[in-house]
Amino acid sequence: MGVSEVNYCLRCGTPLADGERFGRLRRVCPACDWIYFADPKVAAAALVEQDGKVLLGRRVMNPGRGQWTLPAGFVDAGEDPARAAERECLEETGLVVQVSGLLTVLFGQEHERGAHIIIFYRVKILGGELMPGDDVDQVAFFSRFELPPLAFTTTRRVLEIAGDNFQRFANL
């Protein structure tokens, strides 16, 4: 929930006002001094690799409709981000996966409804059947050198990071 969307105190119902608290302008209650702290949205993504290719899904919703991205979605309150990445991968691709390691964490909201923080995991395929689901209409494996149009700059960034890490570890 964005700061501008919060208009009433969640404790007493009084209309909120803007006030400086803890070094920033925040929504505060003039009646009970409750302060609204906006929490960042967190998403988790799965990097699925097979035969030197990466799994992407084509989005059916805006932003980025018709463009491709990694299986990803928001982390629910109380949910382990690694389990969220596994859940989102199953929902979007039909594949049952298991997190094998943390790849990176990126910050930067790319659109109004997007995540502020995205946690990227490497995963291994345990089973399932590759088929689109949830908010994608196609899923396919692509070479990093022949990628389709990508929906988000974070997708390109994490593929570059993953490629650099793969090369670095392959040379050890």
Here the CATH number for the domain that contains residue 12 is 2.20.70
**Does the bond joining 63 to the residue before it have cis omega, within 30 degrees of 0?**
yes
Please check whether residues 93 and 8 belong to one and the same domain: no
Please check whether residues 12 and 51 belong to one and the same domain: no
H or E segment to which residue 88 belongs: helix 81-93
Please check whether residues 51 and 29 belong to one and the same domain: no
Two tokens at 85?
Answer: 């990445």
Where would I find the beta strands (DSSP E) of the chain? 17-21, 24-28, 35-36, 42-50, 53-59, 68-69, 72-74, 95-107, 117-128, 136-143
Question: How many domains does one find in the chain?
Answer: 2
Q: Are strands 24-28 and 35-36 parallel, antiparallel or unpaired?
A: antiparallel
Domain assignment of residue 10, given as a range: 3-36
User: Quick one: pLDDT band at residue 172, thresholds 50, 70, 90?
Assistant: very low
Here the CATH number for the domain that contains residue 66 is 3.90.79.10
For residue range 49-75, what is the model confidence (pLDDT) as tens digits? 999 999 999 999 999 999 999 999 999
Arithmetic mean of pLDDT, 76-81: 96
**Nearest Cα to 51, choosing from 172, 131, 140?**
140
Tell me the C-alpha distance between 124 and 149, whole Å.
Answer: 25
Q: What is the pLDDT of residue 170?
A: 35
Arithmetic mean of pLDDT, 118-129: 97
User: Quick one: pLDDT band at residue 41, thresholds 50, 70, 90?
Assistant: very high
Two tokens at 127?
Answer: 């089973």
Q: What is the pLDDT of residue 109?
A: 79
**Count of residues in the chain:** 172
The more confidently predicted of residues 36 and 166 is: 36
pLDDT mean across residues, the chain:
91
Please check whether residues 84 and 23 belong to one and the same domain: no
